[in-house]
Amino acid sequence: MTLAATLAATTLLIGCAEPAAPPSRPQPLRSEPPAPPPMTPEELAEARRKAGFRDDDLAGEKALAREQGGRQYVREHLAAYRGLVKALRRSVDDIDRSARRWARARDPQRAYRRWRDARDHIVADLTQRYRELRREGVDAGSTQALVERIYRQWEDVHNDLGGDAAEQERFAALISELSEGLDAAELALDEIERDEDLAPR
């Protein structure tokens, strides 16, 4: 084959070859749109309100229903609640009187120990009354919460007693606070008893 023929054949082969694909450009990475800034609680509440949510109303209705159920429970166990409150008041009055007597005794601590040992059965009775009313899973509302708070305060005072209790600065204030709490509990129980919507079942 002559040189001219070879060149012609080469040219023909080159012309038939597929053109090379242009180099591909790297695709830019797709970034997610930036997240909107978090809403303030006020903005969230407003957005929920505009969307038709009524959280406050629903929460209020649930709280009222829970409180009414609690009042019904107390109404059904009213005698037991009154018995516990009355027993707590007797104990608070006894502690107040006895603490002053211990302070005047020749040996205040010995006088206190004798008093304490003679009242073990009272403490056991109060504890039993309280546990019977504080049943697991029962939400008895604000009245139950009040009685529980009074019982815990009484328990704290009783556990911290000693021959010099009456001389301690906080003692009179704690006794007064307990008495006021018991007054409030009695008023709450009276109100529940008078509530015609809470007829005993």
pLDDT band per the 50, 70, 90 thresholds, residue 69? confident
The confidence score (pLDDT) of residue 106 equals 93
**Cβ atoms 83, 155 nearer than 8 A:** no
pLDDT band per the 50, 70, 90 thresholds, residue 46? confident
Separation of alpha carbons 74 and 188, rounded Å: 10
**Cβ atoms 199, 78 nearer than 8 A:** no
- Calculate ∠ Cα 74-153-158, nearest 5°: 120
Separation of alpha carbons 185 and 153, rounded Å: 14
Tell me which of 13-17, 73-77, 123-127, 150-154 is least confident.
13-17
The confidence score (pLDDT) of residue 5 equals 57
Separation of alpha carbons 165 and 169, rounded Å: 9
pTM: 0.67
Q: How far is CA 166 from CA 89, 96, 112, in A?
A: 18, 8, 11
pLDDT band per the 50, 70, 90 thresholds, residue 49? confident
Residue bearing the bigger pLDDT, 19 or 113: 113
The confidence score (pLDDT) of residue 19 equals 53
Separation of alpha carbons 176 and 173, rounded Å: 5
Mean pLDDT of the region 154-179:
92
Q: What is the pLDDT of residues 135-147, one digit of tens each?
A: 655 666 888 899 9
Separation of alpha carbons 28 and 172, rounded Å: 78
pLDDT band per the 50, 70, 90 thresholds, residue 51? confident
Residue bearing the bigger pLDDT, 116 or 18: 116
The confidence score (pLDDT) of residue 71 equals 85
Q: Does the structure show a pLDDT above 50 at 13?
A: no
